[in-house]
């Protein structure tokens, strides 16, 4: 694995880095990306249902009993060390993982929420449904 610890990102780099169609195995590539950017490898403990050698370097992170937490750890590391202003590392609404634009969207009742890559238009008509 080639280390990329000093890489900086901008809004020009926004996009999908891990296709959500990998399903539960997307975590393998997410961990690999975070590790190449300098993250210390997380500890993998196999869930009771799965029998495999977790000491083996070809460990599949999907079989860790807390793979969701490992993904959040990767997200946080990438955002803290390789984040871009106006963007975040993580999953988008379609389940793809990557660097995504943030925008603030007006919501009913004057609330605002952060939303990735696009801002849906809110109209009074859509509120009537």
pTM score of the predicted model: 0.70
CA 42 to chain centre: 15
Question: 18 and 29 in contact (C-beta within 8 Å)?
Answer: yes
Q: Which residue has the tokens 């009913």?
A: 108
Rounded to whole angstroms, the Cα distance separating 96 from 100 reads: 10
- Tens of pLDDT, residue by residue over 86-103, are 899 999 888 999 999 887
- Tens of pLDDT, residue by residue over 104-129, are 554 455 444 454 444 444 333 433 43
99, containing H or E segment:
strand 97-106
Both tokens assigned to 63? 């079989």
């Amino acid at each position: 694995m080639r280390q990329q610890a000093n890489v900086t990102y901008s809004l020009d780099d926004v996009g999908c880095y891990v296709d959500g169609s990998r399903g539960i195995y997307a975590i393998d590539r997410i961990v690999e990306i975070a590790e190449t950017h300098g993250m210390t490898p997380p500890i993998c403990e196999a869930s009771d249902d799965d029998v495999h050698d977790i000491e083996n370097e070809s460990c599949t992170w999907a079989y860790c009993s807390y793979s969701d937490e490992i993904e959040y750890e990767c997200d946080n590391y990438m955002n803290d060390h390789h984040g871009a202003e106006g963007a975040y590392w993580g999953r988008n609404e379609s389940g793809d993982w990557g660097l995504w634009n943030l925008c603030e969207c007006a919501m009913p009742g004057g609330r605002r929420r952060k939303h990735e890559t696009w801002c849906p238009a809110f109209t009074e008509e859509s509120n009537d449904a």
